[in-house]
Amino acid sequence: AQKVTQAQTEISVVEKEDVTLDCVYETRDTTYYLFWYKQPPSGELVFLIRRNSFDEQNEISGRYSWNFQKSTSSFNFTITASQVVDSAVYFCALSGGYNFNKFYFGSGTKLNVKP
């Protein structure tokens, strides 16, 4: 079965602090994809990153970085020097198995960045 767990329901930080959002996944598939999406109050899903199961290389994009560790089934997301505009709900998602188009979302982490 596919499952994504985001244990942090809500996180509050002060602007310029670094923050890490945790994501732990479960799957029996050897080939799968992991995603992070940002959902602002307006509701749309903003794609942040996709990782396939064969690529454990960490990635950095500006203030964003991702740490993929298959050994612990984790795909954590770090925002460096957070800004108020980073305030949103962040979802980790998994797709794989016979249907790569079917997404399993975590419960989301609401990030509040205070000025």
Partner 1 sequence: GAVVSQHPSRVICKSGTSVKIECRSLDFQATTMFWYRQFPKKSLMLMATSNEGSKATYEQGVEKDKFLINHASLTLSTLTVTSAHPEDSSFYICSARPRGRITGNTIYFGEGSWLTVV
Binding site for partner 1 (CB under 8 A): 32-33, 37, 42-45, 47, 50, 52, 91, 95-96, 100-108, 110
Q: Rank residues 39 and 73 by Cβ distance to partner 1 and give the closer one.
A: 39
- Nearest approach in angstroms of CB 80 to partner 1 is 25
Residue pair 42/35 in contact by the 8 Å Cβ criterion: no
Minimum Å gap between C-beta 43 and partner 1 is 4
- Separation of alpha carbons 6 and 72, rounded Å: 14
Whose CA is closest to 48, among 71, 21, 29, 69? 21
Q: How far is the CB of 18 from partner 1 (least distance, A)?
A: 25
Compare residues 49 and 80 and give the one whose CB is closer to partner 1.
49
Neighbours of 5 (CB within 10 A): 14
CB 45 within 8 A of CB 64: no
Nearer to partner 1, 9 or 71 (CB): 9
